[in-house]
Amino acid sequence: MDKLEVAREAVIIYFEENISATRAIEKVKEKYLATDQSKQGTNINETIFNNIIPLQDNLNNK
């Protein structure tokens, strides 16, 4: 899952559920990181989410 896919999922959840951008990103994170984490720190999805989360402040301020 790349950054665009994460952002797209978060936007869909944000509008469908009328929740904060922060919560929408958390929901996407929960959904896609609910995989085997036996290799913690090597999960590409974890890296992508960590790069996107700082953007949530911009979404909440608009």
* Beta carbons within 10 angstroms of residue 35's beta carbon: 10
Tell me the pLDDT tens digit for each residue of 5-60: 888 999 999 999 999 988 998 898 888 776 555 555 555 666 666 666 655 555 55
Stated length of the chain: 62
To the nearest 10°, report the CA torsion of 18, 23, 25, 30. Answer: -120
10/42 Cα distance (integer angstroms): 22
pTM passes above 0.95: no
**Residue 33: exposure state from Cβ atoms within 10 A (0-12, 13-18, ≥19):** middle
For the chain, what is the domain count?
Answer: 1
Per-residue confidence (pLDDT) for residue 5, from 0 to 100: 86
Domain that includes residue 10, residue range: 3-60
